[in-house]
A = this chain, B = another copy of it.
Amino acid sequence: MRPRLWNPEMELMSHSETRALQLVKLKSLLNRVYEQSPYYRDKFDRAGVNPQNLKSLEHYQDYPFFDKDEERASQEASRETARHTFGLHITCNPRSVNRVSSSSGTTGSPTYSGFTLKDREITNDNQARALVRLGIEPGDVVMHASVLSMWIAGIPGVDSMMAYGVCLVPVGALSGVERVAQIARDTRPKSIKCTVSFAQYLVKHMEERTGIDPATLGLEKVVVFGEPGGSIPQIYEPLEKSFGGAMVHDIMGATGCHSPTGISCEEHNGIHFYAEDNAMFEICDPESLQSLPIEDGVEGEIVFTGLERECGPLIRWRDKDIIQVTTEPCRCGRPGPRMLFKGRVDDMLLVKGVNVFPNAVRDVINKTSDLTTGNIRIVKSSPGPVVPAPVLVKVEVKAGLPDQKKQTLAGDLDNAIHHQLRFRATFKFIDEGEFELLKGATGKTRLVEEANQ
């Protein structure tokens, strides 16, 4: 039996049908922004492109990218000259915006995303696709335990889950482990949604602080996001065990489109991307930024275009994530290319001239030894991406590990990293419970620290 889908017409399209639909929607979008936005008209003119001439998706490669710096500048300008904060690149009346999201503002002033009613409806449709793939029916109890905020995983998630008709328990992550545990015990959610690190935090502290064993909550699904752990066996397997056999699913969004856009299945085989009809993506070479053919195994920087976005359409948005795409059918029977997060362009380190992602280092360490807990942090001695070898890595090890075993472990890890990532490393082992996780403003764990900070 094929697994059920929310919107089979869109989710089951063949590759060529998808491409044809994308071309139609893209033409409409590009013509709209060219006609309605002096900002885009000027930008396209300068790049020498005109939507009238777009005959195939290949022509789209000539269009200029959009990124956070440009978005911020465009929004600053619209605040000064147009009395709204959605940027000079918007094409809708700002009064048709119904809900505002913002970035966390950790790297400068916040940037804003507006959603019209139609934008909300597409988001709702995408959320429903995820929920149906999870086996969640209207009426099932779902606990929202990620931060309730303007951030894209906050209020927009609450909004779209209610629209689907779940029994939503919006407890939020900031309520703390005690309240999350008590309310989960009282309301018996079938599914909980939170960041990877909050799930780990619950596992670590719930029983000791509340007497409630997370395995007894009756959860069937733990939906995690925001960090790569949801697709890494060393991270999701202990979570599944601690939550009494609940299955961990990794959910992803797409900046500038209608998040969420993909969710992993019970095969834990990458994230099924189910939203190609509204969240068109390209994979670009991280150096040349040339668009690469979408073939099985292709890897590079993902670039998104929200195809029917009304407020603030972002044309060729550089999301700064490095993604590997799998196009082979999944054993689960569900459609959609699968995506594996490899790292952030901004987090990329340069060791002996080679690009290294912090979570690739974590992956190697996790796969090499089960004496570690999965928590690591790379120590840099200066700002910028260049890190001289040997690279110092702090590694949390399981409680009570004797010194002699630590020495052997250091050798094993150095060999594995040298073999797989081509650089030498040294290690500072930190005992379980002593390792302090560093968090960014949105709750994501930071894998790099600067010495003396």
Taking Cβ atoms with an 8 Å cutoff, the residues of A that contact B are 75, 79, 83-85, 93-100, 102, 105, 109-110, 112, 114, 117, 120, 138-141, 148-150, 154-155, 158-159, 162, 165-172, 174-175, 179, 182-183, 186-188
Please determine whether B109 and A186 come into contact, CB atoms closer than 8 angstroms.
yes
Contact of A186 among B79, B179, B183 (CB under 8 A): B79
- Name the contact of A112 in the complex, choosing from B110, B172, B187 (C-beta under 8 A): B187
Structural contact, A100 and B169, CB atoms closer than 8 A: yes
A140: chain B residues at CB < 8 Å are 95
Determine if A98 and B165 form an interchain contact, defined as CB atoms under 8 angstroms apart: yes
Alpha-carbon separation in the docked complex, A187 to B86 (Å): 9
Known: A98-B166, A148-B149. 18 other contacts (CB 8 A): A93-B139, A94-B167, A95-B140, A96-B139, A98-B165, A98-B168, A99-B168, A100-B168, A105-B179, A105-B182, A109-B182, A109-B186, A110-B183, A110-B186, A149-B171, A149-B175, A158-B158, A158-B159
A172 touches B186 (CB 8 A): no
| CB pair B154 A100 closer than 8 Å | no
Smallest Cβ-Cβ distance to A163: which chain B residue: B98
Q: Is the interface of A mostly helix, strand, loop or mixed?
A: mixed
> What are 19 pairs between A and B in contact, CB < 8 Å?
A83-B188, A85-B186, A85-B187, A95-B138, A95-B140, A96-B139, A97-B139, A99-B170, A100-B141, A100-B169, A110-B182, A110-B186, A148-B148, A148-B155, A148-B172, A149-B171, A149-B172, A150-B171, A159-B159
A36 to chain B, nearest CB (A): 18
**Bound state CA distance, A235 and B83, in angstroms?**
31
Known: A99-B162, A162-B99, A168-B98. Is A112-B186 also a contact (CB below 8 A)?
yes
The 3 tightest CB contacts between A and B, nearest first, are: A95-B139, A148-B148, A85-B186
CA distance in complex: A83, B175 (Å): 24
- Shortest Cβ gap from A183 to chain B (Å): 7
State whether A100 touches B187 (Cβ < 8 A): yes
Chain B residues near A150 (CB-CB < 8 A): 169-172, 183
Closest partner residue, chain B, to A85 (CB atom): B186
Please judge, given known A-B contacts A83-B188, A167-B114, whether A183 and B102 are in contact too, CB under 8 Å.
yes
Residues of B within 8 A of A138 (CB): 95
How close is A271's CB to chain B, nearest CB, in angstroms? 27
Most chain B beta carbons < 10 A, residue from A120, A165, A172, A175: A172
Name the B residues within 8 Å of A109 (CB-CB).
182, 186
How far does the Cβ of A161 sit from chain B's closest Cβ, in whole Å? 9
In the assembled complex, which residues on chain B have CB atoms less than 8 Å from the CB atom of A158? 155, 158-159
Looking at the assembled complex, report how far the CB atom of A312 sits from the nearest CB atom of chain B, in whole angstroms: 13
Please give me the residue from chain B that is nearest to A164 by CB atom.
B98
CB-defined contacts of A148 to chain B, threshold 8 Å: 148-149, 154-155, 172
CB distance from A134 to the nearest CB of B (A): 17
Once bound together, how far apart are the Cα atoms of A120 and B172, in whole Å? Answer: 20
A268 and B120 alpha carbons, distance in the complex (Å): 37
Considering the chains assembled together, what is the distance between the CA atoms of A48 and B102 in angstroms? 57
Chain B residues with Cβ below 8 Å from A100 are 141, 167-170, 187
Closest-CB distance, A68 to chain B (whole angstroms): 16
Question: Which single residue of chain B is at the shortest CB-CB distance from A117?
Answer: B165
